[in-house]
Amino acid sequence: MPKASRKQRSTPASSVSRRPDSYELVSVALFGGAGLLVSLVIVLIRMNGLL
């Protein structure tokens, strides 16, 4: 009677490489948000005539 062979699943390389991508996305989002905040502050200051 033949026995069924069991295949071991290893962690795919793509799941390991997703973490640096997410960190890169977070850093881009933070810098983009900071840039938008600075632009908004400059526009508000110019509307008030301070610059």
Total domain count, the chain: 1
Residue 12 scores a pLDDT above 90: no
Give the predicted TM-score (pTM) of the model: 0.53
> pLDDT band at 50, cuts 50/70/90?
confident
CB 42 within 8 A of CB 51: yes
| pLDDT of 26 | 93
Q: Which residue has the higher pLDDT, 50 or 23?
A: 23
Flag whether 1 is in a domain: no
Residue 1 scores a pLDDT above 80: no
Instruction: State which residues form the domain around 31.
Output: 26-51
Flag whether 37 is in a domain: yes
Flag whether 38 is in a domain: yes
- The rounded distance, in Å, linking the Cα atoms of 36 and 30 is 10
